[in-house]
Amino acid sequence: MQLLFCRQMNRFRSRICAQVRLRTGIRTLLLMCLSGMAVAATEDQASLSQKLQDAVPAGVRLVVAEQSDQFSIPWKISGLGANAPYNITFANFNGGPAVLEALVAGAVDVGFIGEAPLPIALAAGVKDLKVIAAIANPGSPGNIFLVAQPGSGIQKASDLAGKTIAYPPGTGRHMILSGILHSAGLDIRKDIRNVALAGSEVAPTFASRSVDAAIVLGQQLFRLGSPPIIEDGTGHNWGLNVLVTRQSVLDDPDKVRALADLTRRAVQVLNWQQRHAAQWINASYVKQQGLTYEQGKYLYDKSGLGTYYPIENRLRQVYQQIADGLYETGALQKKVTVDPFLDARFNDIVVAQNRLDGMVPKPLANDRHAVIASQGAQTPATDAKADVAPIALARPALAAP
């Protein structure tokens, strides 16, 4: 027994030492790449990308979960995913909860989700999750809208008491709906009639007039015609999207090296989208979602894309505020602590790639919530007003069916 115990301890020490060497190696690579301020940015870029790429051994595979092709589209059209030193496969899912389910089941290695699914999963007892990178878009409505049936008499959020509202549980839309109702003095758990649906079923259910209201995405808004908008996601949402994996994936040194390269490319891809807005609108909103260019530009201009931030104290505070807000507004049944599930090992890569791309993230401060005034108007900088009537926006013409 003693011999067996000693062997197990030796294997444990070896694994810990390997993980320490891996983290130290990645940090050393970054320091080597970024030293010498006189070096041209293009040379820095080539050095950083090449060293991370060369660190990945042959034969590594990554399965990346996404939603609505939102990562694979720019990965491909930008050309920045070319020559990745691993076999990458993209898997599409309908909503963050489905991504986490596949991740926990081992069907994918890493995936993109919004800000609400992780705290909700933690409250449900899921533990084998680690966030390794984060995008934030503070002040954005997140292209999420709470709409009411035309002619329903619903003029403000407080009018939704006792009404049927369709939403996808465990998602960012769930979180935003909870926040809107809370601001109007309503509790999502007891003051409305919940109609919990899969994300793809919310808009069709609203279109059939089976519910009084629904929380919908921007592209769904156009498909529905011109329903009155009660409120949008501004101030109830940080525009946080995270790259999440399993601890068991992080225990594999080869996978970690691949994730280091993937993280750098993901930052570069998002920064490319910022500089090529028209190309991104055409590829995503027009070709993939079937909207007109004008509709896509309207949604892009309203919400933007966000930026990658290092997982530092301020972002940790923000994520905990999100989790606390989910509990306070009734979307969570118990409080959770997010910090143990945030892994900062790739922070230097995020900072380095942003610097090379000339991208400076704006301060993480969320704007106060306000109802949309009009398509072209600025969002008022006043407090949220529960007594403001809904606005029917003047929108670009709908695409032909």
For residues 246 and 225, state if they share a domain: no
| Mean per-residue pLDDT over the chain, rounded | 83
Res. 376: pLDDT tops 60 = no
Q: Which two tokens stand for residue 163?
A: 């009404």
d(CA 279, CA 286) in angstroms, rounded, equals: 10
List beta partners, residue 213: 148, 165
Q: Which two tokens stand for residue 273?
A: 């989208």
In a domain, 284, yes or no: yes
Which pLDDT tens digit goes with each residue over 95-151? 899 999 999 999 999 999 998 899 999 999 999 999 999 999 987 877 899 999 999
Res. 21: pLDDT tops 70 = no
For residues 268 and 331, state if they share a domain: yes
Largest CA distance in the chain: 78
d(CA 204, CA 265) in angstroms, rounded, equals: 36
For residues 260 and 127, state if they share a domain: yes
For residues 95 and 174, state if they share a domain: no
DSSP state of 341: G
In a domain, 374, yes or no: no
Average confidence (pLDDT) over 343-368? 90
- Count of domains for the chain: 2
C-beta pairs of 118-122 under 8 Å, 24+ apart in sequence: 118/242, 118/244, 118/338, 118/341, 119/319, 119/322, 119/323, 119/326, 119/332, 119/336, 119/338, 120/170, 120/174, 120/326, 120/331, 120/332, 121/97, 121/170, 122/323, 122/336, 122/338, 122/341
List beta partners, residue 58: none
For residues 121 and 270, state if they share a domain: yes
Q: What is the pLDDT of residue 369?
A: 38
List beta partners, residue 193: 164
pLDDT tier at 235, thresholds 50, 70, 90: confident
In a domain, 2, yes or no: no
**Nearest alpha carbon to residue 293 among 304, 306, 284:** 284
Q: Which two tokens stand for residue 390?
A: 């809904």
pLDDT tier at 26, thresholds 50, 70, 90: low
For residues 87 and 122, state if they share a domain: yes
Which pLDDT tens digit goes with each residue over 60-107? 999 999 998 999 999 999 999 999 999 999 999 988 999 999 999 999
In a domain, 12, yes or no: no
User: Domain holding 201: CATH number?
Assistant: 3.40.190.10
**Nearest alpha carbon to residue 308 among 264, 342, 338, 278:** 264
DSSP E strands, 233-315: 241-245, 307-309
In a domain, 8, yes or no: no
For residues 125 and 188, state if they share a domain: no
pLDDT tier at 393, thresholds 50, 70, 90: very low
Which pLDDT tens digit goes with each residue over 174-205? 988 998 999 999 999 899 999 999 888 999 99
For residues 228 and 242, state if they share a domain: no
In a domain, 396, yes or no: no
Question: Domain range spanning residue 152?
Answer: 144-232
For residues 224 and 247, state if they share a domain: no
Name the residue type at position 180: I
In a domain, 111, yes or no: yes
Angular region, 131: left φ>0, alpha ψ -120 to 50, beta rest: beta
Strand duo 110-114 + 241-245: pairing: antiparallel
Count CB-CB contacts under 10 A for residue 366: 17
Q: What is the DSSP string of 114-182?
A: ESSHHHHHHHTT----EEEEEEE-TT--TTEEEEE-TTS---SGGGGTT-EEEE-TTSHHHHHHHHHHH
For residues 279 and 321, state if they share a domain: yes
